[in-house]
Amino acid sequence: MNFQNIPRDDKTVKRAILPKRGALSEFDFSQIEPRIFGYYCAVGLKDDTILQVYRDGRDVYREVAARTYKIGYDEVNAKQRQDAGKIGFLATLYGAGPKALKEQIRIPLKDAKELYYSIHEGMPQIRMLSNPPPRTGRHPDYTPGLIERIVQQRGYIKTPYGRHLHVEKFGAHKMLNKLIQGCAADLMKESLRKVDAYLGNTVDALPLQSRMVTSIHDSIGFDGPISELQHLHDTIPDLMRSKWLTDVIPVEIDHEVSTTSWADMISYDEWLEAA
């Protein structure tokens, strides 16, 4: 079974996943892709717009929606946050155009075009980072983004992990996508290695009994004794963070727990209150 394909809100399959050692525990990077985007804005563009959102403890998706619709941060409703702030913002980061937004948000093409240009207007940092050459010559004022300028100079862009990312044929518009997703994937690999090494340690002269059992998208899942939950809560988030990213932008790790089934996961703080 591919756990990554299980719908987030589908409880049917998740009810069949039970803890064998006492408690399921899941640690998830919070909004890691926007944070990586914010990192490159800060490091590459010297623009701290996204960085300041996280430093102030604000929700980046609500912030993007407010900038897109030109309304106050507190005026953003749930639909605006989801459509423009989350789906629209992430899709635009990954090179989607109006037609893709039309399909993903299920709105008329005319509205999708307006939303697309409004997102870029509200978050000009997207095109400042990635602005691939237009397919026609009708853009005399075209200016390449930072990624395109680096590719012109080097032939590739380089991630903090040393990976070289090259432009695929007809794939220039996906380079920001490749950069963000590549960094997120390498961050997860680094986290898995560090966590795996740590689980061989002992606590109070006893070996840890908790084991990694899943790695789904941006999260790591554990099965272990209830008595080790506090220890995991105190140690795993720091193991998952990486210095190259946290030196620039705050990185939060969400922790959810269940002693019954995967379908019943709640935040660790809620679980403590109910215990």
| 136-158 average pLDDT score | 88
Is a pLDDT exceeding 80 seen at residue 139? Answer: no
CA distances from 63 to 37, 51, 85, 89 (A): 14, 12, 7, 11
163 belongs to a structural domain: no
pLDDT of residue 138: 64
162 belongs to a structural domain: no
Query: Do 50 and 121 belong together in one domain?
Result: yes
| CB burial of residue 150 (10 Å; 0-12, 13-18, 19+) | middle
Distance, CA of 185 to chain centre: 10
Is a pLDDT exceeding 70 seen at residue 125? Answer: yes
The model's pTM = 0.93
Per-residue pLDDT band for 9 (boundaries 50, 70, 90) equals confident
Q: Report d(CA 187, CA 183) in Å as an integer.
A: 6
148 belongs to a structural domain: no
pLDDT in tens, 172-220: 889 999 999 999 999 999 999 999 999 988 777 678 999 999 999 899 9
Query: Do 19 and 98 belong together in one domain?
Result: no
238 belongs to a structural domain: yes
pLDDT in tens, 22-49: 999 999 999 999 999 999 999 999 999 9
pLDDT in tens, 71-95: 999 999 999 999 999 999 999 999 9
Is a pLDDT exceeding 80 seen at residue 10? Answer: no
| Contact indicator for 175, 151 with CB cutoff of 8 Å | yes
CATH of the domain at 234: 3.30.70.370
Which structural domain range is residue 43 located in? 32-131
Q: Which of 109, 131, 153 is the last residue of a domain?
A: 131
| CB burial of residue 89 (10 Å; 0-12, 13-18, 19+) | buried
Q: How many domains does the chain have?
A: 2
- Report the percent of the chain where pLDDT is more than 90: 84
Query: Do 83 and 102 belong together in one domain?
Result: yes
Query: Do 13 and 63 belong together in one domain?
Result: no
Q: Report d(CA 220, CA 218) in Å as an integer.
A: 7
pLDDT of residue 5: 78
Q: Which residue has the tokens 């044929």?
A: 169
| 105-121 average pLDDT score | 96
Query: Do 15 and 81 belong together in one domain?
Result: no
Q: Report d(CA 99, CA 67) in Å as an integer.
A: 22
175 belongs to a structural domain: no
| Contact indicator for 129, 41 with CB cutoff of 8 Å | yes
